[in-house]
Chains A and B, each alone.
Chain A
Amino acid sequence: MTRILPFVPGHRLPSFVFLVISAVLFLASAVRPDNMQAVRNGVTDLFAPVLAAVNAPIQGAASYVRAASGLASLQAENERLRIENERLREWYQKALVLQSENETLQKMANMKISAPHKYMTARIIADSGNSYARSVLVMAGTADGVQKGQAVTGAEGLIGRIIQAGAGSSRVLLVNDINARIPVFIEGSNMQAVAAGNGGAQPSLIHLPPETVLQEGARILTSGHGGLYPYGIPVGTVVRADAKEWGVDLFSDIDRTIYVRVIDSASDPNLQESVRP
């Protein structure tokens, strides 16, 4: 039989063909990342229950080990929580007074108040399986009200946003992925910046005016600019990355997170008004 490709031995032809197909798929995917989104959603939905089943005992075992190793420090932890509880009770009383005062002032100023966010809670069932891509798969999809673009928080603060929503599962691009960009402002100074993921634990603060000096420990919140993230979600605190750069110490402990909350931003009256015909 005449060889189709003279430089590839006959018995290696299938490997060569699949390598070429893989390369073509890669190029097509790199040029148009949104290509074949329906196929991605379908395959992800198909495998989601299996991934959830494999992941559940691993998460269970990790939680058990963490709980068992925490027994030794239980007394110290109990004391720390008792002190924190006392402090939070004081804060609760102050917060009630401030809330009432704030509502009165807002009514006097006839301010349009954003409705509180609605949340959907979902369990993480898998991550990207790639050291360089920081994303997770959650067990909630369009059938549960999840939509592409919605912000996702952990227990303490922002952890990412939905970039792919299938019927029963969705993918969350984490804030520390190299492609994540979050418009933020720094509390106190009201300085605007962008928190840019770098694959590490602390995203960088970019697009700050030159020679900006920030206060370490200042809170960083989403600014809502661009409409991707709602206004005011806690992201982290300012840290100095090096002599010239600033970074974000995230509130959320992404590596230990098992459950996330997807924010239903459609409940924002300002957003509803802007999309109304």
Chain B
Amino acid sequence: MAADFSRKSIERAARLSVPHIMLFLMAALSMAAVPVPGAGIVKPFFVLMHVYYWSVNRPRLVPPALCFFTGLAMDILSGGALGVNAIILVAAQWTTQAQRRFLTAQPFITLWAVFGLIALAAGGVQWALTGLAGMNWPSPAPGIISVAATFFLFPFIALLLGAVHHILPVAHRKLS
């Protein structure tokens, strides 16, 4: 098949790349060393917000492979045990897509509450696996603060992702 380099197809590809660029920026942002007290402990799960939002609204933008490789890259760059972020992101994508029919029919407040539960589960998995890797379980307090920050930041990030959603080309298939 000949490659389509028409203006329309290039524009479509450019618009579809915006969520991926945002995913990359959110991964980098979650690892940013902000020089203010407490910033090293409070680490909101920005990438989880991204994966959850698109799993509900445009699942094809966050396939399992993308979640896996993003999580793996974050694990490698974090210097911790491999697989922790990959497990969290793939499991979050799986769970959300399995409940997509229910979630798409819900108001934002329900989506937010469900995201809170997913963020809490992600925080628990991160705490358990980080402890298991070193056989030394730290106090869960920093993780609880991070989950709370993730929960309260979600509406703002959802607003931003909603704006991106508007510029995306219309999906041709039901699940795209």
Using a CB–CB cutoff of 8 Å, the interface residues on chain A facing chain B are 12, 14-19, 21-30, 33, 36, 39-40, 43-44, 47, 50-51, 54-55, 58-59, 62-63, 66, 124-137, 163-164, 171, 173, 178-179, 198-200, 253-258
The reply to whether B83 and A14 form a contact with Cβ atoms under 8 Å apart is no
Residue in B40, B78, B90, B139 whose beta carbon sits within 8 Å of that of A19 in the complex? B90
Given the interface pairs A18-B67, A39-B76, the reply to whether A23 lies near B87 with Cβ below 8 Å is yes
User: A88 to B147, alpha carbons, bound, how many Å?
Assistant: 45
Given the interface pairs A39-B76, A54-B32, A59-B33, the reply to whether A130 lies near B83 with Cβ below 8 Å is no
Contacts of A171 in B (CB 8 A): 79
Of residues A24, A58, A254, which shows the largest number of chain B Cβ atoms within 10 Å of its Cβ? A58
Contacts of B31 in A (CB 8 A): 51, 126-129, 137
Residue B114 at the chain A interface, CB threshold 8 Å: no
The reply to whether B77 and A131 form a contact with Cβ atoms under 8 Å apart is no
Contacts of B93 in A (CB 8 A): 15
User: Chain B: how many interface residues by the 8 Å CB criterion?
Assistant: 58
The reply to whether B38 and A133 form a contact with Cβ atoms under 8 Å apart is no
User: A50 to B145, alpha carbons, bound, how many Å?
Assistant: 28
Min distance, Cβ B174 to any Cβ of chain A, angstroms: 13
The reply to whether A26 and B63 form a contact with Cβ atoms under 8 Å apart is no
Of residues B29, B36, B131, which shows the largest number of chain A Cβ atoms within 10 Å of its Cβ? B36
The reply to whether A18 and B86 form a contact with Cβ atoms under 8 Å apart is yes
Contacts of B120 in A (CB 8 A): none
User: A258 to B39, alpha carbons, bound, how many Å?
Assistant: 13
B146 to A, closest residue via Cβ = A131
B139 to A, closest residue via Cβ = A199
The reply to whether B64 and A15 form a contact with Cβ atoms under 8 Å apart is yes
User: A202 to B42, alpha carbons, bound, how many Å?
Assistant: 17
Contacts of B83 in A (CB 8 A): 22-27, 29
The reply to whether A131 and B142 form a contact with Cβ atoms under 8 Å apart is yes
B43 to A, closest residue via Cβ = A131
Residue in A39, A126, A133 whose beta carbon sits within 8 Å of that of B80 in the complex? A133
Residue B68 at the chain A interface, CB threshold 8 Å: yes
The reply to whether B134 and A43 form a contact with Cβ atoms under 8 Å apart is no
| A-B pair number, CB within 8 angstroms | 174
Segment at the interface with A among B10-18, B104-112, B122-130, B157-165: B122-130
Min distance, Cβ B134 to any Cβ of chain A, angstroms: 6
Given the interface pairs A19-B90, A132-B127, the reply to whether A124 lies near B82 with Cβ below 8 Å is no
The reply to whether A54 and B29 form a contact with Cβ atoms under 8 Å apart is yes
The reply to whether A133 and B130 form a contact with Cβ atoms under 8 Å apart is yes
Residue in B131, B139, B145 whose beta carbon sits within 8 Å of that of A200 in the complex? B139
54-85 of chain B: CB within 8 A of chain A: 63-65, 67-68, 71-74, 76-84
Could you show 30 A-B contacts with beta carbons less than 8 Å apart?
Answer: A12-B98, A14-B63, A15-B94, A18-B67, A18-B86, A22-B72, A25-B72, A26-B83, A26-B87, A26-B133, A29-B83, A43-B73, A54-B28, A59-B33, A125-B33, A127-B32, A127-B43, A128-B78, A129-B31, A131-B41, A131-B145, A132-B126, A133-B130, A136-B33, A137-B79, A164-B79, A173-B79, A198-B139, A256-B36, A257-B35
Beyond the given pairs A66-B36, A126-B32, 20 more chain A to chain B contacts, judged by CB atoms under 8 angstroms and listed by A's residue number, are A14-B64, A15-B97, A19-B94, A24-B83, A25-B82, A26-B82, A30-B133, A33-B133, A59-B33, A126-B31, A126-B77, A128-B80, A129-B31, A132-B138, A133-B79, A134-B40, A135-B78, A199-B139, A253-B37, A254-B40
Contacts of B76 in A (CB 8 A): 39-40, 43-44
The reply to whether A131 and B126 form a contact with Cβ atoms under 8 Å apart is yes
The reply to whether B78 and A58 form a contact with Cβ atoms under 8 Å apart is no
Of residues A18, A19, A131, A137, which shows the largest number of chain B Cβ atoms within 10 Å of its Cβ? A131
Contacts of A36 in B (CB 8 A): 82
A18 to B, closest residue via Cβ = B68
